[in-house]
Chains A and B, each alone.
Chain A
Amino acid sequence: MSNATRTSKWSWLFLGFGFFFLYAPMLSLIVYSFNENRLVTVWSGFSTKWYGALMQDDQMLAAAWVSLRIAFYTACASVVLGTMAAMVMTRMRGFRGKTLFSGMITAPLVMPEVITGLSLLLLFVSLSTWTGLDFARGMTTIWVAHVTLCMAFVTVVISSRLAELDRSLEEAAMDLGANRVKVFFLITLPIISPALMSGWLLAFTLSLDDLVLASFVSGPSSTTLPMQVFSSARMGVSPKINALATILIVGVSTIGVIGWYFMERAERRRQAEMQAAAKQ
């Protein structure tokens, strides 16, 4: 035990530093969003006026609405495609092109976004010239770009859950008379539903957050929230962005903490019930 306590002193030091490093900038954003002064870092009194100003900013609100819609559709499509991809990855052994397929799934995870963005834009442009159809750049192209990126993340989340799933559960269902489609919808899907949920949320936040891909493939009419924030941040620090940041940080944290709390509670109850059952 002496070993454990000695390391824990160092542990707390490192963790303390790490978490300070991670959270201090975000806290400073939140604190200064309530600053009355126009100069963000000079404190001159508490005020919520920047939130009011944010609500008046039509451009910002429009961009937020565009982003939310794209994020929602992206998350839905990514979960559907990601689940299919994960099923293929974990359930099918050795088909032609599997190496290419699995490579294409992991590559977007790390591929610099500028490369992906540029390539996708060139694709859309080429498609327009080849087919003669007008692939107008806008929400749809952003959606396609985001799905390509997010699907990779969702696939990783879901396939790691599928890999852990006891195969005999699916076999048992099949043994009891359910065909493959029924097995998937009655057994596999309900059991992996927490992974689907976290995959959906992950895709949603990734899409909401993306600047680079959207900048490449967006058209004049579709400005996303990060693009709007980026262009105004380039002009200089503005208290309005602090207010927006606070809303985003608080919103995401609340959802995250609530989700975590419910999962934690369910897991703890499950553990307790299992112990109680073993004692019978």
Chain B
Amino acid sequence: MPYFWLLLFFAVPFLIALKISFAKAAIAMPPYTDVLYWVDGFPVVKLRGENYLYLLGDSLYINAYLSSLKIAVVSTFLCLLLGYPMAYSISRMAPATRNIALLLVILPSWTSFLIRIYAWVGILKPNGLINNYLMYLGLIDSPLKMLHTPIAVYIGIVYAYLPFMVLPLYTNLVKHDHRLLEAASDLGAKPWQAFLKVTLPLSKAGIIAGCMLVAIPAVGEFVIPEMLGGPETLMIGRVLWQEFFNNRDWPVASAVAMVMLALLIIPIMIFHRAQAKEMEGKLT
């Protein structure tokens, strides 16, 4: 039964989206032409590649894809930079404090995503907290423009996805045998060497899982660029949204989604394999 649910509501929709991405926009309800015709009782499939050509032809889309990827990669890296030391520190704590720290990491991800992003609007806007504080200190005379800039988008993504980086890293790091580091230092490795040679390679699976968990959804992120980014912050999720809701061009929106999916299919498969491995490790 869950199988059919997923098949019906997850797999089939993609096929439909794929189909519609080959259709042509029309002023009708639903607003696209049919791909499948019946001519004298024979089905005729008319695939229109024009939506894809259109995507290729307009630099807007290519730039949006590239900048989405760039933003996702950079913010994933920043997340890792901040999340790894946090996960590492938590995994080295005494069990009682460890659980409290873990709860503190998870708690924000339970509260509304939208509201947490909204909080940054109040902090970053021209008469927001940071600007007010800096002006109060006399460090600046006029407000800095922080809201509606790429920097705000980076902050937002790192902020929203940090728990998703810390959690898989923590689950991996906490399983490490502390004696391995002792053995390394017994064999003459300095702490940072032991970290580089022992801890870091062993936590590879956690790093992969964490990065995929942040990077893949970040590519298609809509809320963060919409609320924190400026008009020049192009992200593909936003382009899709506009194509769909503002221009009501469903076929082009579908094509945008299909290309995005094609870009993400490899990272998703990497993530799936890491996930499956984790499962099997537990089963044996």
A and B touch in the complex (CB under 8 A): yes
Taking the closest CB of chain B, its distance from the CB of A72, in whole angstroms, is 16
Taking the closest CB of chain B, its distance from the CB of A67, in whole angstroms, is 10
A272 at interface (Cβ–Cβ under 8 A)?
no
Hey, which chain B residues are within 8 Å of A7, CB to CB?
A: 89, 92, 191
A26-B217 in contact (CB<8A): no
**Nearest neighbor of A159 in chain B, beta-carbon distance:** B279
Closest to B101 in A: A15
Residues 252-279 of chain A, each 1 if its beta carbon lies under 8 Å from chain B, else 0: 1100110010001000000000000000
Please state if B115 and A110 are interface contacts (CB–CB under 8 Å): no
**A126: chain B residues within 8 A (beta carbon):** 16, 30
Residues of A within 8 A of B275 (CB): 106, 156
From 112 to 157 in chain A, residues with beta carbon under 8 angstroms from any chain B beta carbon are 112-116, 118-120, 122-123, 125-126, 129, 144-145, 147-148, 151, 155-156
Check if A23 sits within 8 Å of B260, measured CB to CB.
Answer: no
Q: Which of B3, B7, B106, B110 has the most CB of A within 10 A?
A: B110
In the assembled complex, A230 has its CB within 8 A of some CB on chain B: yes
Report the Cα distance A40→B106, complex, angstroms.
27
The answer to whether the Cβ of A195 comes within 8 Å of any Cβ in the partner chain is no
Q: Which residue on B lies nearest to A242, using beta carbons?
A: B122
Distance between Cα atoms of A213 and B26 in the complex (Å): 24
User: CA of A81 to CA of B5 in the docked complex: distance in angstroms?
Assistant: 9
CA A167 to CA B267, docked complex, whole Å: 33
CB distance from B144 to the nearest CB of A (A): 14
Q: Quick check: is A53 within 8 A (CB to CB) of the other chain?
A: no
Query: Is B111 touching A113 in the complex (CB atoms < 8 A)?
Result: no
Q: Are B99 and A264 in contact (CB under 8 A)?
A: yes
| Contact B6 A32, beta carbon cutoff 8 Å | no
B contact residues around A120 at 8 Å (CB): 9, 13
Residues of chain B lying within 8 A (CB to CB) of residue A82: 2
User: Quick check: is A176 within 8 A (CB to CB) of the other chain?
Assistant: no
Report A93-119 CB contacts with B as 1/0, cut-off 8 Å: 000010011111111111111111011
Interface size class of B (residues with CB under 8 A): 35 or more
* Given A112-B216, A205-B110, A226-B112: A118 and B17 interface contact (C-beta under 8 Å): yes
Residue of B nearest to A229 (CB): B114
Contact with B along A184-218 (1 / 0, CB 8 A): 00000000000000000000010011011001100
Chain-A contact segment, one of B41-49, B52-60, B125-133, B200-208: B125-133
Q: Are B227 and A233 in contact (CB under 8 A)?
A: yes
Q: Given A28-B119, A113-B217, A122-B254: A42 and B127 within 8 A (CB)?
A: yes
**Is A209 within 8 A of B113, CB to CB?**
yes
State which of B106, B217, B240, B279 has its C-beta within 8 Å of the C-beta of A118.
Answer: B240
Shortest Cβ distance from B223 into A: residue: A211
From A19, A112, A122, A144, B17 is in contact (CB under 8 Å) with A122
Contact (A102, B272) CB under 8 Å given A112-B264, A245-B115, A253-B107: yes
Please provide the chain A residues from 5 to 50 with a CB less than 8 Å away from any CB of chain B in the complex. 6-8, 10-12, 14-15, 17-19, 21-23, 25-26, 28-29, 32, 39-42
Interface status of A59 (Cβ within 8 A of chain B): no
B119/A229 in contact, CB under 8 A: no
A96 to chain B, nearest CB (A): 11
By a CB distance below 8 angstroms, the chain B residues around A66 are none
**B5–A118 contact, CB under 8 A?**
no
Contact flag A209-B271 (CB < 8 Å), given A41-B132, A118-B244, A160-B282 = no
Interface contacts beyond A84-B2, A119-B17: sample of 20 additional A-B pairs, CB < 8 Å, sorted by A: A11-B88, A21-B162, A25-B119, A28-B129, A32-B122, A97-B3, A103-B272, A114-B240, A119-B14, A122-B20, A123-B9, A148-B9, A156-B275, A160-B282, A229-B118, A244-B115, A245-B115, A253-B111, A257-B103, A264-B99
Interchain residue pairs A-B with the least CB separation, the first 8: A112-B220, A11-B89, A119-B13, A25-B119, A163-B282, A85-B2, A14-B85, A110-B216
CB-defined A-B contacts under 8 Å, sample of 19: A11-B88, A18-B82, A29-B122, A81-B1, A90-B279, A101-B3, A104-B7, A115-B220, A118-B17, A122-B13, A123-B9, A160-B278, A163-B282, A209-B114, A226-B114, A233-B114, A233-B227, A237-B121, A248-B111
